[in-house]
Every structure is written in structure tokens, then in C-alpha cells.
Structure 1
Amino acid sequence: MAEPGRRHGVPPTMMSGWVGWIAFAGVIMVLLGVFHVLQGLVALFEDGYYQVEKSGLAVQVDYTVWGWVHIVGGVVIAAAGLAVFAGKMWARIVGVLVAMASAIVNVGFLAASPAWSLTMIAMNLLIIWALTAHGREIAE
């Protein structure tokens, strides 16, 4: 006889509630990628938007360079976020690596947009935690 709430003949799953954190990481990675692309487009087309001139940045390069770094990084992060849903180990590794790179890029961009960069860094830390602590469970 099947347990209440279970269908007869359906084996119990090994999946825990933590698998939601992996879905969260994938969604946040896609969102973070979109944010990076938007930030890159602003840097390309409206560099006067930021709080400091390029000489005030940690890495003193033109905002055009920062724009392209954010756009390329954003596309990579979003693609890695989509790949995380496949449950593959390589996708989790890439996800952690691009989240680390994104956090480093945002540390370099802190002077230009402090609140935004700190928010992005916090999102990256959540992604890293979710993918390293609970990543195996999505494959199941």
C-alpha cells in the first residue's frame, strides 16, 4: 500500500528541498548576466552616469573597456546560468568560476557605482554558496 500523498509504484526520490537553491542560483545567474549587460551598455553609451571619472576607478581604463567587460561577462554568466539547469558538474564549475570573476570585476567597479556593485557581489556570493553546497542534488 502506498504512503499517503504518494502514487503506487513510484519510487521515492533522493532529491531534497535544497535543490531549490540550485534553481535559485541558475535564475540569479541569468538575472545577473542581464544586469551586467545593462551596466555595460550604460558604460558604453552614457559614461557620465557614473559617480567618478575613469581616473577614480580601481583599474583606470576607459568606460568603453569596462562596458565591453560587463557585456561579455554578462553573456557568459547568463549562459552558465542556463546550463546549471542541466544538472551537469561542468555547468556548476563554470558557474562558480564566472561568479568569482563577476565579483572581482564588481570590486574593480565599486568607485563608479558602490551600491550596485555591492549588490552584485552579494548575488555572486549566494550563487557560489548554492552551487558548491547543494549542486549535486539537481542532477538527481
Structure 2
Amino acid sequence: MQDTGWLGWIWFAGIMMIVMGAFNAIEGLVGLFRGEYYVATGEQVIVFDLTTWGWITLLLGVLVALAGGALLSGAAWARVVTVMLAAVNAVAQLAFVSVHPLWSTIVITLCVVVIWAVVVHGNEAAATLESSSR
């Protein structure tokens, strides 16, 4: 068994969380400062008004990026937090899917891949880190 393969999935998940967090933060800032960028017709639904949605997305983006950084540090608690925040982020993107369907679909897909990487390969990465510290 090659150690770098298992550790590579966790690194991938951590980096993707940082990237998704940055993109979410940018989405939130655009919602706050350039609300006219996001135009929803009567048939499209955004659960909150744009300012509230912008703040929620900005905060979620910061938390997702911080979880990604913690995951890269090897903290065991970061795996649980990463899975929880990736799931919340995927659900939050559902509120935005009618406004930007391609973007939301990409983010939801990345969230699912991150959850898979952490759940399937998290214990192997922890064992790898333990054995390398000895």
C-alpha cells in the first residue's frame, strides 16, 4: 500500500475545501456589493433576500476554507467538520441552483467528492500520519 495515495485524497479534499470556500466567499461578496449581478425571475427562487444570502454565503465560505486548512493540518476533528460543512455547502447551493445552475452543480459535485474522499480515505490518512511520526 502506497502511503501517498491515501494522503493525496485528504490533501485533495483540503485544497478543494479552501477553493470552494474562497469561491463561496466571492459569491457572498458579489451578493452584498453587486446584487444586480444575480437576477432571479419570478420562477426562480432564492430562499433569502440577496443581502441575507450574501452574508450567509460569505460566512459559509470562510468556514469551509478554514475547515480545509484544518484538514490539511491533519487534525482528526477536521475530518468530521469537513464532512458536515461540505454537506451544508451542497444543500446551500440548492437555493442558488436556479440562478446559476452550472456553477451550483459543479460545487455540489465537488462537495460530494470531498465527502467521499474524507469518509473513505480519512482513516488511512490518519494511520499514515501516525506511522510517519514514529
Q: Compare the two structures and name the one with the higher helix fraction.
A: 2
Matches within 5 A, 1:47-66: 47-53=35-41, 56-59=44-47, 61-66=48-53
The whole-number CA distance in structure 1 between the counterparts of 2:74 and 2:44 is 41
Structure 1 residue aligned with 2:84, among 97, 121, 125?
Answer: 97
After TM superposition, the score normalised by the length of structure 1 is 0.83
Contact 1:51/1:111 (8 A) holds in 2: no
2:59 is matched with which residue? 72
Higher-Rg structure is: 1
Matches within 5 A, 1:1-140: 15=3, 17-53=5-41, 56-59=44-47, 61-139=48-126, 140=128
Cα deviation for residue 51 of structure 1 reads: 3.7
Aligned residues: 127
Structure 1: runs of 5 or more not aligned: 1-12
Sequence identity (%): 39
After TM superposition, the score normalised by the length of structure 2 is 0.87
Contact 1:51/1:113 (8 A) holds in 2: no
**What are the superposed Cα offsets for residues 94-119 of structure 1, whole Å, 9 maximum, x if unpaired?**
00000000000001111121111111
Which amino acid is 1:115 matched to? L
Which amino acid is 1:38 matched to? I
Structure 2: runs of 5 or more not aligned: 129-134
RMSD: 1.9
